[in-house]
Amino acid sequence: MKVADIVGGLIGIFTGLWVLWTSSNMPADVVMKIGPGFFPSMLAGGLILFSGALLVKAIQGKSKGRLESRQWSDVGVRRGLITLCAAILFVAVMEPLGFIPTSIVFLTFMMWVLGKRNPLLIGLVPTLITAGVWLVFEKLLHLSMPPGVLDSLL
pLDDT top residue among 27 and 25 = 25
- Cβ–Cβ contacts within 10 Å for residue 99, how many? 21
User: Which pLDDT score, from 0 to 100, does residue 71 have?
Assistant: 86
The model's pTM: 0.70
pLDDT tens string 33-55: 777 788 899 999 999 999 999 99
> What does the pLDDT look like over 105-121, one tens digit per residue?
999 999 999 999 999 99
Share of the chain above pLDDT 70, in %: 97
Distance CA 35, CA 140 (A): 13
pLDDT of residue 142: 81
Helices (H), the chain: 2-24, 38-59, 75-97, 99-113, 119-134
pLDDT in tens, 44-98: 999 999 999 999 999 999 988 777 788 888 888 999 999 999 999 999 999 999 9
> Is the predicted pLDDT of residue 32 greater than 80, yes or no?
no
How many of the other CB atoms lie within 10 Å of CB of 29? 16
